[in-house]
A and B are shown apart, each in its own frame.
Chain A
Amino acid sequence: DIQMTQSPSSLSASVGDRVTITCRASQSISSYLNWYQQKPGKAPKVLIYAASSLQSGVPSRFSGSGSGTDFTLTISSLQPEDSATYYCQQSHSTPWTFGQGTKVEIK
């Protein structure tokens, strides 16, 4: 199985800060990497698919980059509503696996 490792596990940042979350795959997954946002008690919601494509309706402050084994989710200007846990997920091969999550808190 492909292992997905996110860092950091949690972070605290101020409104307006630029935030970066990284995700590393245990083997190359090309661009088969997705990012989800999950708020407490809610289902996850896709933000970025295929490493860098912004899902319709998602604010443009979210962006994704990377290919192969190293990927990044960037929030260009953190907003209060971005407080959530973020997960990366590979869909290169079954089983689809998720990172352990990054909890983003607002200072």
Chain B
Amino acid sequence: QEQLAESGGGVVQPGRSLRLSCAASGFTFSNYGMHWVRQAPGKGLEWVAVIYYDGSKKYYADSVKGRFTISRDNSENTLYLQMNSLRAEDTAVYYCARDISSRWYDCWGQGTLVTVSS
């Protein structure tokens, strides 16, 4: 069964850092591009970042560029999101998602909540 499971969310003060993980199972992780998508409470979906299947390319939303870093460890079947200089507006549920042919998401994790508050 193909699954993604996020972890690492929690409450953090503004300006601090947090690292999210997304563990993949049931499929060949190294064959797929992977994304982070977030959803602020009561709001819509916002794409955050993408990393190619081999880690060769990474792209970020303007709202997180220079503060967040996406990475992956294909030997551990794990995707990461390092979040630095966190702001209140980064408060959201963060989902990892697998893309198919760089065109749509067919598998999502359950999400992990990040709350940035003093």
Contact = CB atoms under 8 A, between A and B. Distances in A.
Interface residues of A, number: 24
A62 B110 CA distance: 24
Interface in A84-106: 87, 89, 91, 94-101
B103 A50 contact: yes
A1 B60 CA distance: 12
A94 B104 contact: no
B104 A87 contact: no
Interface residues of B, number: 21
Nearest to A48: B104
A96 B106 contact: no
B11 to A, nearest CB: 19
A52 interface: no
Tell me what chain B mostly uses at the interface: helix, strand, loop, or mixed: strand
Interface in A28-49: 32, 34, 36, 38, 42-46, 49
B61 interface: yes
A49 B104 contact: yes
Interface stretch (B24-32, B41-49, B84-92): B41-49
A32 B103 contact: yes
A55 B102 contact: no
A95 B104 contact: no
A95 B35 CA distance: 11
Most chain-A CB neighbours within 10 Å: which of B35, B59, B104?
B104
Interface of A: 1, 32, 34, 36, 38, 42-46, 49-50, 55, 87, 89, 91, 94-101
